[in-house]
Structure 1
Amino acid sequence: MLEAPQPQGSTSRPPWNIAIPLPSCFDQSFLTNITFLKVLLWLVLLGLFVELEFGLAYFVLSLFYWLYVGTRGPEEKKEGEKSAYSVFNPGCEAIQGTLTAEQLERELQLRPLAGR
């Protein structure tokens, strides 16, 4: 039998330095799957605590946990980001879209009429 000559150093594995692009939906579907699993776990635990007659306590403690996790600390604030509360901004500067009392009066035309 004749065998074809093999080039030296040839392997069937691809080289390690080639980056294989992941589909753009990978990140989103992965996060969605993790979120779905977390919600499913929470529902299963809620059912368990309801059976143990601690369902309300589990639900209330879960709400407190979600409130804690949902807030962010001051170290997570981006550079130059303004606070929603104008008293915490330099010069008490309000953010765009804030409704002031003066603006409300102008829009509702609650100014006294001239000459009356």
Structure 2
Amino acid sequence: MPGAARPRGRASQPPGNPAERPPAPPPQDQSLLTNITFLKVLLWLVLLGLFVQLEFGLAYFVLSLFYWMYVGTRGPEEKTEGEKSAYSVFNPGCEAIQGTLTAEQLERELHLRPLQGR
């Protein structure tokens, strides 16, 4: 029938046997109290308030920044096999990673660009 409406529920399901589809990942508990990152931030804020009361808030903040920079860096043992460094001098053959602006590319773009407004 041309005017009959089709049920919409079946159109959104992927074709195939349900037994062939991979199982859905188990639901993760996202409550704020079990989130370790939230607890760390809360502890940091409480300590910041304490150090502000002791008039050492700025020192606590600056030392925290240094700690976050130290923790955020990876050592050479954490590098995966075949991973290239962002600094081409540390790669075999000084090979640059994709997206790096080289001096040759910059010269080529500066010299070949027509002057605007003339």
TM-score (norm 2): 0.67
Relative to total residues, which structure has the larger helix share, 1 or 2? 1
- What residue is the counterpart of 2:90 in the other structure? 88
Q: CA deviation at 1:68?
A: 0.7
Residues 35-46 of structure 1 aligned to structure 2 (within 5 Å) = 35-46=37-48
- Where do 5+ consecutive residues of structure 1 fail to align? 1-20, 112-116
Distance 1:110 1:22 in 2: 53
Where does residue 63 of structure 1 map in the other structure? 65
Q: Counterpart in 2 of 1:98?
A: 100
Rounded to whole Å, the distance in 1 between the matches of 2:100 and 2:54 is 48
How far the C-alpha of 1:108 sits from its partner, in A, is 2.2
Cα distance, 1:65 vs. partner?
0.7
Output the CA distance in 2 between the equivalents of 1:38 and 1:44: 10
Percent of aligned pairs with the same amino acid: 88
Q: CA deviation at 1:25?
A: 3.0
Classify the secondary structure of the residue corresponding to 2:83: coil
Q: Which residue of 2 aligns with 1:72?
A: 74
Residue aligning to 1:6: none
Amino acid across the alignment from 2:55: E
Which residue of structure 1 lines up, in the alignment, with residue 27 of structure 2? 24
Which residue is 1:54 aligned to? 56
Over alpha carbons, which structure has the higher Rg? 1
Aligned-partner Cα distance in 2 for 1:52–1:100: 50
Distance in 2 (CA, whole Å) between partners of 1:91 and 1:60 is 39
Output the CA distance in 1 between the equivalents of 2:51 and 2:75: 31
Gaps of 5+ in 2: 1-23, 114-118
Specify the SS of the correspondent of 2:35.
helix
In 2, the alpha carbon distance for the partners of 1:88 and 1:30 equals: 43
AA matched with 1:50: V
